[in-house]
């Protein structure tokens, strides 16, 4: 199976990376960057382990510290075969840790970068879906390599809007929560655009939520089982669908 978003570069997991990756059922892990340091760590993990691929990018939380040095690092490493996307990038109006206009500017710069280096983009979006959609439409001619909305939390109606831009959608443990109520959203996503992730060490799925210290890739099975049940597939059927989608999107 493929975990399309796992923070093995997080300080709580990086020391256990080899142990986590030794699991025979785990085919591939995409480790996302979210700033300069984490992107470098993601890249180093990808170069060290066959199963790992990296994305490089500046998260909206860190947009205010985005620099030319950081941009040049992403640009210079983007052609490496172990780098599969620019991300996680986007907008976050929930925490507003960087000014919104700065978030937009850095987001747009990285959309341009992704097009220049021929990579898809992986988006982090929270409470900012309309502005994200507007920016993507503005740069539609730059969206030549794919768009993935990681940890999608928007509406079913917005799914249809983003799918007009050929977007993919990834879901993690949050969809298993009792108050998530995402069944209509899951059903709105085209099957060939559906991916699964853990976003570990965050978003631990039910039934192990609150029972383990932190999330990790092996718990993706609970999200798989939940989504398969909602969509009327066996876990094996959905695993093949989502794995094929992940390989297509990331060029694996």
Hey, is 208 helix, strand or coil? Answer: coil
Mean pLDDT, range 12-41, rounded to an integer: 96
What is the C-alpha to C-alpha distance for residues 79 and 50, in angstroms, rounded to an integer? 17
Beta strands in 179-249 (DSSP E): 194-196
What's the chain's average pLDDT?
97
Say how many domains are in the chain.
1
**Residue listed under structure tokens 């631990």:** 204
The angle, 0 to 180 degrees and rounded to 10, between the axes of the packed helices 129-138 and 100-117 is 40
Nearest to 89 by CA among 138, 137, 123: 123
Hey, is 234 helix, strand or coil? Answer: coil
Q: What are phi and psi of 247, to 5 degrees?
A: -65, -40
Mean pLDDT, range 211-221, rounded to an integer: 96
Nearest to 86 by CA among 39, 52, 142: 39
pLDDT in tens, 73-121: 999 999 999 999 999 999 999 999 999 999 999 999 999 999 999 999 9
Query: The pTM is what?
Result: 0.97
Residues in CB range of 15: below 8 A, 6 or more apart? none
pLDDT in tens, 147-201: 999 999 999 999 999 999 999 999 999 999 999 999 999 999 999 999 999 999 9
Residue 187 belongs to domain with CATH number = 3.20.20.140
- Note the pLDDT of residue 138: 98
- Note the pLDDT of residue 45: 98
- Note the pLDDT of residue 183: 96
Parent domain of 197: 2-250
Token pair for 223: 């999200």
């Amino acid at each position: 199976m493929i975990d399309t978003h796992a923070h093995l570069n997080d300080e709580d997991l990086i020391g256990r990376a080899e142990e986590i990756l030794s699991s025979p059922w785990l085919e591939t892990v995409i480790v996302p960057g979210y700033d300069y340091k984490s992107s470098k760590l993601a890249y180093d993990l990808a170069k060290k382990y066959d199963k790992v691929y990296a994305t490089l990018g500046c998260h909206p939380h860190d947009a205010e510290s985005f620099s030319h040095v950081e941009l040049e690092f992403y640009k210079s490493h983007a052609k490496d075969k172990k780098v599969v996307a620019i991300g996680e990038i986007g907008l976050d109006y929930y925490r507003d840790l960087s000014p919104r206009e700065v978030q937009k500017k850095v987001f747009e710069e990285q959309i341009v970068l992704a097009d220049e280096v021929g990579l898809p983009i992986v988006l982090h979006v929270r409470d900012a879906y309309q502005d994200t959609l507007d920016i993507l439409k503005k740069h539609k001619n730059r969206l030549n390599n794919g768009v993935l909305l990681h940890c999608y939390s928007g509406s079913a109606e917005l799914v249809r809007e983003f799918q007009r831009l050929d977007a993919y959608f990834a879901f993690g443990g949050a969809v298993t929560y009792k108050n998530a109520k995402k069944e209509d959203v899951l059903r709105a996503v085209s099957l060939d655009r559906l991916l699964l992730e853990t976003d570990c060490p965050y978003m631990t799925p039910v039934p192990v939520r609150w029972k383990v210290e932190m999330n990790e890739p092996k718990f993706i099975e609970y999200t798989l089982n939940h989504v398969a049940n909602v969509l009327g597939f066996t876990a094996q059927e959905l695993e093949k669908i989502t794995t094929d989608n992940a390989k297509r999107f990331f060029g694996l």
